[in-house]
Structure 1
Amino acid sequence: MIRLDNITKQNGHQIVFIEASAALNRGEKIGLVGPNGAGKTTLFRIIAGQEQPDEGQVSTDRGITIGYFSQDVGEMSGRSAVAEVMNGAGPVSELAEELKELEAAMADPDRADEMEQIIERYGDVQGHFEELGGYALESRAREVLGGLSFTQEMMDGDVGALSGGWKMRVALARILLMRPDAMLLDEPSNHLDLESLIWLEQFLQNYDGMLLMTSHDREFMNRIVGKIVEIDGGSLTSYSGDHEFYEQQRAISEKQQQAQFERQQAMLAKELKFIERFKARASHAAQVQSRVKQIAKIERVEPPKRRQAVKFEFQQAPRSGEDVVSIKGVDKRYGPLTIYDGLDFHVRRRERWCILGVNGAGKSTLLKLVAGTSEPDKGSVNIGASVKMGYFAQHAMDLLDGERTVFEELEYTFPQAGTGALRTLAGCFGFSGDDVEKPCRVLSGGEKARLVMAKMLYDPPNFLVLDEPTNHLDMATKEMLIEALANYEGAMLLVSHDRRFLAALTNRVLELTPEGPHVYGGGYTEYVERTGQEAPGLAR
């Protein structure tokens, strides 16, 4: 379906691909993986025709349609969300526009002498429009937007009034509605809540075209893909199986390559020892020369490329009292919308709560009330004795000083810490080498999230309030964070759409429903087992 034959690509001084080849076949669902900066987005752009390889070629079957979702959604305004989605549906949306123009032409008395041709063209366009399911297009667009958690008001409102995250969903819905022969999705799971993520997972499982996707959500990828293409060191390597199988195979390959490397090094050391010992003896000259030539001909085995994984270890957090947060009789409304009516909720030491609920249920509102960035209309929110809170929210990334470098931001926050300790901290959160000299204003969303997380966790609070902490984080950073938080002894209150994160770290669940809050005594895994659903209102 799509073939990459010996492509080479260089961006500035960075060589991204060196004679890389891969085949993407009809019906395959493929996960694209590789370290940050390896060239995943560049590969998407090359396949989509937005960039050309310096050498080699990309060939696609004749007539196939390709839909590409990227993180750069561009400007959107002046249309409703549903119209914006329909506008990207390829030939169907073009035919819909032509039908409107032809209907206007038929009602125009000045074009009476063209009426026969207009009516004939209208019949042709209408027939083609019906064949492509055009009359069902709007209902399909609304169904896709509904799956991505849009309300009817949001669907019909101006798309320009939406936040960046919701515009991302509109751009994603456009590609899903198009249902192209080949779908390229660059981080489609970013900016989605748990309900939308599970809906998208099911949609992609039922999609019968070729799918190539990246995602930092391990669970999401494992449930969809049956093949992995890895970008590393300029080459493309294919693995059959999901992401978990790929990791196992990669570990086996690394072990085998390391063993081959060590065997060859031992053999070379032995040969070089012989040469060094006998090079001055005339009686062994022929043997020495023969071995020198043999060594020169040997193809060297390279040691495996090891991905650097830095562990982060918490300093001991000060102990809090047994009662961390006490919420009593809280009412909260936004205009006519009631979020809470007499909410009671308690967090105690060492409890790790995840908050579940559909969009608008009040998950982030609860975290804001606890963090003190929002006030209840009625009732009380009391923080317990000796509680030191750390609050991570998306807006916290906007509070970084754009003129400071990463290292200066850490140094400003922790003036008593040594340079070595701060560099180690930066390294744990993915800032190695020259990365610490980047000004905060040029950091990506993921880099900003990692820096804010590093600042919060270095001098550890004993109560963590986390609103979507894994947004923008790559798999390696998530795994490091899960490992670090698994040993954390404080209390936690968190909202996340990452099921692996929830399953690994929670021991309590608060489900916010229209009927009122429901408390579950186990963690997220126990919640799924007891309710038969992975999110409120969605059957497993």
Structure 2
Amino acid sequence: MIRIENISKSASHRILFIEASAALNRGEKVGLVGPNGAGKTTLFRMITGQEQPDEGQVAADKHVSIGYFNQDVGEMAGRSAVAEAMEGAGPVSAVATELRELEARMVDPDQLDQMDEIIERYGEVQARYEELDGYSLEGRAREVLAGLSFSQDMMDGDVGKLSGGWKMRVALARILLMRPDVMLLDEPSNHLDIESLIWLETFLKTYDGALLMTSHDREFMNRIVNKIIEIDAGSLTSYTGDYGFYEQQRAQNEKQQQAQFERQQAMLAKEIKFIERFKARASHASQVQSRVKKLEKIDRVEPPKRRQTVAFDFQAPPRSGEDVVSLKQVHKAYGQRTIYEGLDFMIRRKERWCIMGVNGAGKSTLLKLIAGTAKPDVGSVNVGASVKLGYFAQHSMDLLDGDATILQWLEQRFPKAGQAPLRALSGCFGFSGDDVEKKCRVLSGGEKARLVMAAMLFDPPNFLVLDEPTNHLDLDTKEMLIKALGEYEGTMLFVSHDRHFLAALSNRVLELTPEGIHQYGGGYVEYVERTGAEAPGLMKA
């Protein structure tokens, strides 16, 4: 359906693709992977015709419809989330808008003298709306939005009043409702809670078109894709299988190529040694010439292209007391809405609690109460002896000095550290080379989050409180963080929608539900086994 044929493409003096080829075939569900800046979004834009390759071509079969979701959702205001989602379905959305305008005019007393004309036009528009299956479309739009965790009030309210993350969901709903022949999804798992993620997985599994997507959520990708296309050093390489298979196959290919390279280097060294030894002897002239010609004709094996991955090693945090935090009879409400009523909760040293709950259950509120940025209405929150608390929240990046560069800001935080370890730290979190000279004010939201996380972990507290720490991290950085936190010797309390992160790092689960608060010994994996559900908002098996 989509053919990428020998494309080359440069951007800002960087070569993204060199004679690269790949294909997206009918029914395939493909994960597009590669390091940040490799050209994933550029490839999407070339498929949609928003950009052109410098050489080669990107071609689609005739009459193939393409739906493209990206992080730039544009302006949304002045209509409901349902109407905005239906906009992606084509002409029916314009008919729906006129239908609503006519309905408003029919109840407007100032337009009584035009009522016959309004009613006649309403009949015509309503017939056209039925012809286009409009009533069914609205039902499907509401179903998709509900799957993405919208309440009925949010569906019918002004989309312009929603946060950026919820607007992203509306833009995603628009593409899902369209059900094109080819769906291009650039990071659809961003800004979604676990319930929405699992609903989207089910939707995409049953979608019968071709899918090409990027995602920083390996579990999400593993459950959907049956093929991986990797962008690496300007080339496109296809692997049949999910992301886990791709990782194994890539590692195996690298190992085999390294072995071939080493064997050839040993053979070349042996031949060169013979030539050097006997090149001055007339008796061996023919043998020397023969070996020289042999070397000239040999196809050289290249060593495998290895991605630069930097490991991050924690300094050992100071030891805390055994009782890290104690909450007793905590009540917390916002206006008429009660979040906690008589909450008792204890965290002990080396426990790693993940908090599970649907949107609005009080996950972030609990973190704020423990971090001290919110106070209980009633009850007490006591932090134990020798506890050094580090709190990562989504608003943490507002504390950055916009006029300072990344390196300068880190030097302000750690004046005795020296540049070398701070540059190494920056590299671990995706700021390599000249990136450390960027001003903090020009950083994206994701870059700011990574910088704040890096600073917090450089001088580690013995109690980490983390609110969605993996948002904005690419797969490699996320793996580095999971590995580092796996070796961390302190206590953790965190909220995350990344199931790989939850499974790898938790050893306790606090579940917040309308029926009550439940504590589970064992981590997220054991929680899923015991409850039969991957999240509290899903039906138990």
TM-score range, shorter chain: over 0.9
Tell me which residue corresponds to 1:264.
264
Query: Whole-Å Cα distance in 2 between the matches of residues 164 and 431 of structure 1?
Result: 25
The separation in 2 between residues aligned to 1:476 and 1:375, in whole angstroms, is 37
**Structure 1 contact 102–122 (Cα < 8 Å) conserved:** no
Q: Deviations over 1:54-104 (max 9, x none)?
A: 111122122121111111111212222221111122343245457779999
Q: Which residue in the other structure is 2:161 paired with?
A: 161
Moved more, 443-452 or 216-225: 443-452
Residue of structure 2 in register with 1:408 after alignment? 408
- Would the aligned equivalents of 2:92 and 2:129 in 1 still touch at CA under 8 Å? no
Match of 1:220 in 2: 220
Letter in 1 for 2:510: L
One-letter code aligned to 2:132: F
2: distance between equivalents of 1:513 and 1:120? 47
Amino acid at match of 1:234: G
- Residue pair 2:99, 2:126 contacting (<8 A) in 1 also: no
Point out the more displaced range, 460-469 or 272-281.
Answer: 272-281
Which residue does the alignment assign to 1:204? 204
Deviation at 1:297, TM superposition (A): 2.8
Q: Supply the distance in 2 between the matched residues of 1:43 and 1:184 (Cα, whole angstroms).
A: 10
Are 1:530 and 2:533 an aligned pair? no
CA apart distance, 1:416 = 1.1
Q: Which residue number corresponds to residue 11 of structure 2? A: 11
The one-letter amino acid of 2:275's match is I
**Partner in structure 2 of residue 322 of structure 1:** 322
Where does residue 129 of structure 1 map in the other structure?
132
Cα deviation 1:192-247 (Å, max 9, x = unaligned): 11111111111111111111111111111001101101111111111110000011
Structure 1 pair 52/104, CA: closer, same or farther in 2 (3 Å)? farther
Q: State the SS of the aligned residue for 2:381.
A: strand
Q: Distance in 2 between matches of 1:405 and 1:395?
A: 19
Q: Which amino acid aligns with 2:521?
A: G
Question: In 2, Cα distance between the equivalents of 1:81 and 1:538?
Answer: 23
Measure how far apart 1:296 and its partner are. 2.6
The amino acid across from 1:229 in the alignment is I
Corresponding residue number in structure 1 for 2:151: 151
Cα distance in 2 for partners of 1:418, 1:448 equals 21
Is the contact between residue 28 and residue 226 of structure 1 (CA under 8 Å) also seen in structure 2? yes
Deviates more, 1:176-185 or 1:294-303: 294-303
Gaps of 5+ in 2: none
Distance in 2 between the 1:376 and 1:119 partners?
A: 55
Instruction: Output the CA distance in 1 between the equivalents of 2:76 and 2:352.
Output: 40
Answering whether residue 85 of structure 2 is matched by residue 82 of structure 1, we say no
> Please, what TM-score do these two structures have when normalized by structure 2?
0.93
Q: TM-score, normalised by structure 1?
A: 0.93
Tell me by how many angstroms 1:179 deviates: 1.1
Q: Contact 2:99/2:122 (CA < 8 Å) preserved in 1?
A: no
- Give the corresponding residue for 2:497: 497
* Distance in 2 (alpha carbons) for counterparts of 1:120 and 1:339: 48
Q: 5 Å matches for 1:81-480?
A: 81-96=81-96, 125-126=128-129, 128-130=131-133, 134-480=134-480
The AA in structure 1 aligned to 2:410 is L
Farther-moved stretch of structure 1 (242-251 vs 45-54): 45-54
1:537 Cα offset (Å): 3.0
**Cα 1:22–1:124 shift into 2, 3 Å:** farther
CA-based RMSD of the aligned residues comes to 2.6
- Is the Cα contact below 8 Å between 1:96 and 1:129 reproduced in 2? no
Contact 2:367/2:467 (8 A) holds in 1: yes
Displacement after TM superposition at 1:502 (Å): 0.7
- Whether the aligned pair in 2 keeps the contact of 1:19 and 1:56 (CA below 8 Å) is yes
In structure 2, do the counterparts of structure 1 residues 120 and 339 end up closer, same or farther at CA, with 3 Å as the change threshold? closer
How far apart, in 1, do the equivalents of 2:97 and 2:386 lie?
A: 64
The CA deviation string for residues 22-68 of structure 1, in whole angstroms up to 9 with x for no partner, is 11011111100111111111011111111111111122122121111
Instruction: Structure 1 unaligned segments of length 5 or more: list them.
Output: none
1:482-522 Cα shifts (integer Å, max 9, x gaps): 11111222111100001111111111111111122111111
Distance 1:100 1:523, change over 3 A: closer
* Percent identity of equivalent pairs: 76
Q: How much has 1:429 moved relative to structure 2?
A: 2.0
Q: How far apart, in 2, do the equivalents of 1:276 and 1:124 lie?
A: 90
Cα distance, 1:531 vs structure 2: 0.4
**Paired letter, 2:258:** Q
More moved, 76-85 vs 363-372: 76-85
Matched, 1:482 2:485: no
| 1:189 CA displacement | 0.7
* SS of aligned partner of 1:88: helix
Q: Classify 1:390/1:412 alpha carbon distance in 2 versus 1 (closer, same or farther; 3 Å).
A: same
Contact 1:511 1:536 in 2 (8 A): yes
